[in-house]
């Protein structure tokens, strides 16, 4: 009887190791295709990710990654997106009566970067302009933000691009008295009411 070669056990061990390694690689590949790709990259070649709800995880992950990348590129995590204030914001609701064909202005003092939230409505259409007078500007100069004729309401947020007084001009183009109601919130500390032939009315906000 012929004896097996002396290195036969070594060959068998190598074959078993190769089988085990191949099985491990196959299992890893299946895990990659069935679970990792759908959950991480929203790639689902076998359809198992959709059945297990993993594709949505991948889509969400991609969206989060894109948002984070955009934020990093724009520097929003380091930029001045918060303008801290030493005092709480103020709120005001005020009514103005406008006689037929009368116009008036109402403005708040704002420093550069301070925000003003506003909403106003009128009982009839008015000619309207949102504008500002920068500090140090020549007398009579105003920078217009928005100007529209014949409207009866507007809302928005103004972030002051420079220090100065910022606010509205309303003109009653009709033949009857109307009321303009203004609601605001912001870090203003003083307002000014301007009407032709009348002294300026100043209001302090402590």
Task: Convert the pLDDT of each residue in 111-157 to its tens digit.
Answer: 999 999 999 999 999 999 999 999 998 888 999 999 999 999 999 99
- Burial label for 183, CB within 10 Å (0-12, 13-18, 19+), is middle
Question: Whose structure tokens read 């109307």?
Answer: 178
For 25-64, how does the pLDDT look when each residue is reduced to its tens digit (9 = 90+)?
776 666 666 666 666 666 677 776 676 665 566 667 676 6
CA atoms of 145 and 108, how far apart (whole Å): 15
Q: What is the DSSP string of 40-82?
A: II---SSSHHHHHTHHHHHHHHHHHHHHHHHHHHHTTTTS---
């Amino acid at each position: 009887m012929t004896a097996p070669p002396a290195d036969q056990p070594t060959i068998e061990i190598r074959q078993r190791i190769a089988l085990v390694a191949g099985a491990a690689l196959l299992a890893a590949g299946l895990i990659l295709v069935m679970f990792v790709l759908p959950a991480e990259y929203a790639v689902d070649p076998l359809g198992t990710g959709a059945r297990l709800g993993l594709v949505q995880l991948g889509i969400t992950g991609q969206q989060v990654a894109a948002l984070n990348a955009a934020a990093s590129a724009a520097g929003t995590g380091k930029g001045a997106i918060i303008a801290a204030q030493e005092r709480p914001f103020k709120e005001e609701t005020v009514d103005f009566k406008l006689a037929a064909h009368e116009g008036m202005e109402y403005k708040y003092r704002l420093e550069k970067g301070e925000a003003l939230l506003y909403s106003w409505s009128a009982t009839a259409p008015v000619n309207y302009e949102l504008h500002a007078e920068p500090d140090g500007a020549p007398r009579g100069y105003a920078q217009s933000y928005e100007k529209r004729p014949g409207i009866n309401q507007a809302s928005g947020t103004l972030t002051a691009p420079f220090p100065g007084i910022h606010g509205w001009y309303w003109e009653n183009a009709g033949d009857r008295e109307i009321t303009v109601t203004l609601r605001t919130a912001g870090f203003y500390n003083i307002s000014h009411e301007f009407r032709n032939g009348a002294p300026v009315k100043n209001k302090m906000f402590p």
